Amino acid sequence: MTTSEKLDTDGLLERARAVLDGVTDPELPFLTIADIGILRDVHLDGATIEIVITPTYSGCPAMDVIGVDIAAAMTRAGLHDHRITRVLAPAWTTDWLSPAARAKLIANGIAPPAKSAGKRALFATEAVACPTCGSTETIQVSAFGSTACKAQRRCERCREPFDHFKCI
């Protein structure tokens, strides 16, 4: 491979990553698939751009829409030779949420999950801070919120209800 071919390859991957930076989660449209950690890798397999994604959980209904959104964004950008590969291992964890994703969740009234999900004690309860006032005096109202990956909580201090992104 010549230097100019290597530069073209780097440019192609850079373009693909820039396109993918605009693909959002349909359930949380203020978060990109990179913010959430769904986008695992972008590389070339010969002349084909391979986009590797991992679902937040194996039955996540948003993954089909995300796949369609990725394909549409790539095609609109003229990057027709691409393939989307779903991988289940390692399993996605909320630890893959970027710091930007955590900040965006709070800004949109959703409490982010605790860090290091795998290090919590079994059946331990975590203090969940209210995204409105910051109080940890919150209670769970329902194990399920607006989507299966969120629980519904209420702040005892400001009385505001809010979603809490579950720790996985």
Task: Say which residues have a Cβ less than 8 Å from residue 126's Cβ, sequence separation at least 6.
Answer: 114, 120, 167
Boundary-marking domain end, from 41, 73, 92: 92
Same-domain pairing of 110 and 70:
no
pLDDT in tens, 10-40: 789 999 999 999 999 999 999 999 999 999 9
**Residue 7, pLDDT above cutoff 80:** no
Boundary-marking domain end, from 92, 108, 133: 92
pLDDT in tens, 148-168: 788 999 999 999 999 999 887
Give the HSE-up count for residue 48: Cα atoms under 13 Å, Cβ half-sphere.
9
Q: What pLDDT sits at residue 6? A: 52
Count other C-beta atoms under 10 Å from residue 9's C-beta.
14
The torsion defined by the Cα of 135, 104, 32 and 68, in degrees rounded to 10, comes to 60
pLDDT band at 4 (very low <50, low <70, confident <90, very high): very low
CATH code: domain of residue 30: 3.30.300.130
Boundary-marking domain end, from 92, 119, 142: 92
Which domain covers residue 131, as residue numbers?
98-165
Same-domain pairing of 74 and 151:
no
What are the backbone dihedrals phi and psi of residue 3, each rounded to the nearest 5 degrees, phi first? -60, -40
